[in-house]
A = this chain, B = another copy of it.
Amino acid sequence: MGRLTAGGTEVLTPAFMPVGTRGVVKAVSPEEVWGLGYRMILANAYHLYLRPGHELVERHGGLHRFMDWPGSILTDSGGFQVFSLARLRKINDEGVVFQSHIDGSSHLFTPELSVQVQEGLGSDIIMCLDDVRGYPVTKEEALEAVIRTGNWAERCLRSKKTVDPALFGIVQGSVFSDLRKLSTESLTSLDLDGYAVGGLSVGEPHDIMVEMLEVTVPLLPEGAPRYVMGVGKPQDILDGVLRGVDLFDCVLPTRNARNGMLFTSRGPVNIRNARHADDPEPVDMCCTCPLCVNYSRAYLRHLFQEKEIYGLRLATIHNLSFYSRMMDRIRDAVRDNKLRSFAGEFSAKMEETDD
Contacts and interface: CB of A to CB of B under 8 A. Distances in A.
Interface stretch (A59-67, A124-132, A137-145, A332-340): A59-67
Interface string A293-312: 01110110111011011101
A52 B309 contact: no
Interface stretch (A24-32, A187-195, A222-230): A24-32
A337 to B, nearest CB: 40
Contacts of A303: 24
Contacts of A296: 60, 66
Copies, count? 2
Q: Bin the interface of chain A by size.
A: 20 to 34
A107 interface: no
A23 interface: yes
Summarize A's interface: helix, strand, loop or mixed. Answer: loop
A280 interface: yes
Contacts of A325: none
Interface in A247-282: 277-278, 280
A200 B219 CA distance: 75
A299 B67 CA distance: 7
A89 B68 CA distance: 50
Given A278-B59, A310-B24, A302 B52 contact: yes
Contacts of A24: 303, 308, 310
5 contacts: A29-B313, A52-B298, A59-B278, A60-B296, A60-B298
